[in-house]
Structure 1
Amino acid sequence: MGPVIPLTLAVLLMLVAALLAVLISLSRVVSVPAGGDLSVLRVTTTRLLWARLAGLAAGLAASWFVSSWNGLGRGPMLAAPVLGIGLLLGTLAGELAAPRPHGPIRGASLEIRRARDYLPGFSARLAGALTLVTVLLLSVTSVTASADDLGRAGRELAMTSPDGTVRSVTGPWPGWFYAWPMLAVLATAFLLSALVVHRVVQRGRPGLDAAARAVDDVQRAHSARVVTAAYGLCVALPLAGVAVVAAGVLFRQSDFAGWTTPAAFGLLGIAVFAAGSAIWYLAELLSRPIIRAS
């Protein structure tokens, strides 16, 4: 019965994310001017989609490989960030493969495009908040961690009874042993996300008429949304797991300090917040803008 409950919960969360994705798509109806040659934009859309799917497939394969490496729990912890990095690489490949302006007559628009013009405000701020919480939480758990019985630093939480007669060591505790690989992967995902967003902003326009510009802006905004969602999943899913594991350790240490139970419930609150954020980002990945000619 053990694996049944997590699997059922995962399916339920996927269904909720799919429903939310439909609602998001319906609320993002974009009107663009009619007319213009949109053939290059259709090629761009196709290349972006296939590149993202290829990145997702590569990310799934790498994620399965990493999760099969237990590493005392580090493999499953890094599976989600590795999946997100695969999706980011696919998005970058699609942006690099986007067709450039062609034809006997070419033009260039005198405009300044910035990342904030395309990044989704709420999702980007949420990703920043999740990153801050993750760094702070891993900093605290690393400072309070102790070595295990084999001398591996940062794997256990050691506490002593108030009278000093009993010492309890419980784990796994998300100390430095787990923190450094997770922070390294998240730093890689952040830098890669910044690179992809830079490419999204800087690539040339395939057309300069009003319709082409409008559709191109929708494509850029969607790419930036995919990047933000992929990075958000890289942070949210491991944060939820780390918070749950740390809360379980604190509950087991409740006989040694009165503050551990409230702290454990606080960590469960963080886990719920991170899981809800993961659902939002998954829905963002599944949703697509609806383009209509005005």
Structure 2
Amino acid sequence: MAVTVILGLVVVLLLAAALTGPSAPPDPATDHIRRTTRRWRWTGLTLGVAVAAVAAGEDPLGRGVLLAAPLFGLCVLAGVVAGESRAVRPAGTTRRAALETRQIRHYLPRRPATAVAAAGAALAALLVATTAAGSVDDLGRAGRSLAYDCGEITGSHGPWAGSFYSLPLALVVGVGVLIAALALYRVVGRPRPQAEAGDLVPDDAERRRSATAVTGACGVLVTIPLLGVCLVTAAGLLASPCRPLWWTVAAWLLILLTPIWLAVLGWSAAAILKPGARASRTDPVSA
């Protein structure tokens, strides 16, 4: 239920980002790159919504809902990779190469990227902990409940983000991280566009937009399942009638962190549709 609410929230955030806020001013020299990358990004986004909707209705035990957001992020990342692969077309009969050093850090939005990386690390750590604490549920499904033993009172609480949920989620998120790395490699490594006269066209603003979109897709990839796992874990910890003090502290810490992850999710949703350029940042150093 919590993940369903979060999925609805991200749809609202995506619509708000699409309908509000100014776009970055167009640059005629790189307009074809923007059109191509934006078209493929929207294709990935549309496909991602469809895939997420199908996945959310597939598994009545909640795995489909949990995997819907990461699958959405995968599709958006695939769209970015496709757009970057098709963005630059040769022009003219003479080709020129730029001697320059380009690195991923030149194009990433630094603070948001750090926040997304922190969310990914938090998700990984939380899944390790919940997997280790998971127990078999009443139908024999491993890792789907949290058992407690209070002496005279024994029982369990579910659903719990043990191996039943964490392993497929980790697989999908891991694939998403690999696709994101490929997308950033394409953003940095693709050749600069060339004008009809043979001159190279500066396109660093477009690379920053693509890198921002990749960062946003990674944010959606990790923050929606992170929010769901945080709330499910907190509920499970607080459900134990004989929980130790640190369970209570951990549960409330997870709850208190949710506004931070919601803020990262809000930025990520906006970044997918309105990447924006950081035109004031320095360009890569020419060799």
Name the counterpart of 2:17. 18
Deviation string 1:210-236 (CA, Å, 9 cap, x unpaired) is 9931xx110001000000110111000
Indicate the percent of aligned positions where both proteins have the same amino acid.
Answer: 35
Q: Would the alpha carbon gap of residues 85 and 12 (structure 1) be closer, same or farther in structure 2, given more than 3 Å must change?
A: closer
Matched, 1:61 2:42: no
Match for residue 223 of structure 1 among 210, 223, 236: 210
Paired residues, number: 275
8 Å contact kept, 1:145–1:157: yes
Aligned ranges 1:67-216 → 2 under 5 Å:
67-161=56-150, 164-207=151-194, 212-213=201-202, 216=203
8 Å contact kept, 1:101–1:205: no
8 Å contact kept, 1:20–1:283: no
- Quote how far apart the aligned CAs of 1:201 are: 0.7
TM-score by length of 1: 0.84
- Quote how far apart the aligned CAs of 1:207 are: 2.8
CA distance in 2 between counterparts of 1:140 and 1:132 reads: 12
Deviation string 1:21-66 (CA, Å, 9 cap, x unpaired) is 73xx58x779x8xxxx72xx22221111111111111111111111
CA distance in 2 between counterparts of 1:87 and 1:115 reads: 19
Q: Would the alpha carbon gap of residues 11 and 51 (structure 1) be closer, same or farther in structure 2, given more than 3 Å must change?
A: closer
SS of the residue corresponding to residue 72 of structure 1 reads coil
CA distance in 2 between counterparts of 1:12 and 1:72 reads: 22
8 Å contact kept, 2:10–2:266: no
Q: Would the alpha carbon gap of residues 107 and 195 (structure 1) be closer, same or farther in structure 2, given more than 3 Å must change?
A: same
8 Å contact kept, 1:142–1:174: yes
8 Å contact kept, 1:254–1:261: no
SS of the residue corresponding to residue 101 of structure 2 reads coil
TM-score by length of 2: 0.86
8 Å contact kept, 2:119–2:222: yes
* Paired amino acid for 1:251: L
- Quote how far apart the aligned CAs of 1:177 are: 1.1
SS of the residue corresponding to residue 159 of structure 1 reads strand
- Quote how far apart the aligned CAs of 1:93 are: 0.8
Extract unaligned runs of 5+ from structure 2: 280-287
8 Å contact kept, 1:21–1:284: no
- Consecutive aligned runs of 4 or more in structure 1 exceeding 4 Å deviation: 208-211
Q: Would the alpha carbon gap of residues 29 and 44 (structure 1) be closer, same or farther in structure 2, given more than 3 Å must change?
A: closer
CA distance in 2 between counterparts of 1:134 and 1:102 reads: 45
Name the counterpart of 2:260. 273
- Quote how far apart the aligned CAs of 1:70 are: 2.1
* Paired amino acid for 2:165: Y
Extract unaligned runs of 5+ from structure 1: none
- Quote how far apart the aligned CAs of 1:289 are: 2.9
